[in-house]
Amino acid sequence: MQMTHLGIMSLKRLIRNNRALALTEFALAFPVLLVTGGYGAELAHLALCHLSISQYALNLADNASRVGVVSSNGVSQLRETDINDVLQATKVQGVDLKLTTYGRITLSSLEYAAQDYDKMPLQRIHWQRCIGLKSGLGYDSSFGKAKTTAGADAPANWVASSDDQYAGIVSSGMGPAGSAVTAPTDSGVMFVEVNYDYQALFGTMFLSPTKIHYIASFIVRDNRDFSQITNPYPTATASNCSLYTVGPKTINSY
């Protein structure tokens, strides 16, 4: 069927018509721009979360290595309230990410100091304190555990007949194989492990569920008494790793 003269003229006018050209191009390009822009925003947000959580871990290890009350003999005593304060500080730092809601933080005291119940110095996780609602494999400490209440017992109160004094022994130190951290002789290391479920901007549209994991450690800065964590009046509730809460109960908590 041959096209009429009128039809040919209409087709030519349609081809030459450039009205709404920009709108048409935008409609075609918008899905591509939306996908690439969203993916870029998601990657940028993930990178910022990695940076933030690595800094939270470093700050906690640094703060925990400094806190304590220096007694008249020049020895620093670490209190439960001191530990709660540094954990609370980390919670506040990570409030925008809801760090303790979607994650778990473990603070360990790795020591190489012989206690009264030791026959020789050992690399030992003397005590651990934790915050965060997440629990189980992948959230609790991956590099060794001490008993739940460890640290609160003075050597004089330790039950020598039990096996508890051997809990937490990590002869190779704490950390990934080949790069584990060990404590210096007669001293200790504050070792921090953070596990966090990344909260994506666009759900699983661009990224599968992602866990962010960081560790950090600092050598204890002062002449600390490593025999126990003290808890003088007014006593503080210890942030034991058997508890799964969004934050420690400090005296000045808000």
Q: Is residue 215 part of a domain?
A: yes
pLDDT of 182 > 60? The answer is yes
Mean per-residue pLDDT, 200-227: 92
Q: What are phi and psi of 72, to 5 degrees?
A: -65, -20
Q: Is residue 175 part of a domain?
A: yes
pLDDT of 162 > 70? The answer is no
Report how far residue 27's alpha carbon sits from residue 29's, in angstroms, rounded to the nearest whole number.
Answer: 6
| Structural domains in the chain (count) | 1
Q: What secondary structure letter does DSSP report for 136?
A: S
Residue 173 · residue 152 · CB < 8 Å: no
Residue 84 tokens, joined:
């709660």
Mind listing the pLDDT tens digit for each residue in 58-67?
A: 999 999 999 9
Q: Is residue 250 part of a domain?
A: no
Q: Is residue 43 part of a domain?
A: yes
Mind listing the pLDDT tens digit for each residue in 5-45?
A: 666 666 666 566 666 556 666 666 667 777 788 889 999 99
Mean per-residue pLDDT, 192-208: 93
Q: Is residue 113 part of a domain?
A: yes
pTM: 0.82
End-to-end, the C-alpha distance of the chain in Å comes to: 84
Beta pairing partners, 26: none
pLDDT of 1 > 60? The answer is no
pLDDT of 216 > 60? The answer is yes
Q: Is residue 233 part of a domain?
A: no
CA 34, distance to chain mean position in Å, is 32
pLDDT over 70 for what percent of the chain? Answer: 78
Report how far residue 84's alpha carbon sits from residue 82's, in angstroms, rounded to the nearest whole number.
Answer: 5
pLDDT of 198 > 60? The answer is yes
Instruction: Give the domain range for residue 41.
Output: 5-219
pLDDT of 57 > 70? The answer is yes
Q: How high is the pLDDT of residue 252?
A: 45
Q: Is residue 225 part of a domain?
A: no
Tokens 């790793």 correspond to what residue? 241
Q: What secondary structure letter does DSSP report for 176?
A: S
Q: Is residue 78 part of a domain?
A: yes
For residue 103, CA distances in Å to 91, 146, 193, 216, 237 come to: 10, 20, 11, 16, 21
Q: What secondary structure letter does DSSP report for 166?
A: G
Q: How high is the pLDDT of residue 153?
A: 61
pLDDT of 253 > 50? The answer is no
H/E element, 105: strand 103-111
Q: How many CB atoms lie within 10 A of CB 7?
A: 10
Q: Round the average pLDDT of the chain to a whole number and report it.
A: 84
Q: How high is the pLDDT of residue 9?
A: 64
Tokens 């500080």 correspond to what residue? 89
pLDDT band at 92 (very low <50, low <70, confident <90, very high): very high
Residue 102 · residue 197 · CB < 8 Å: yes
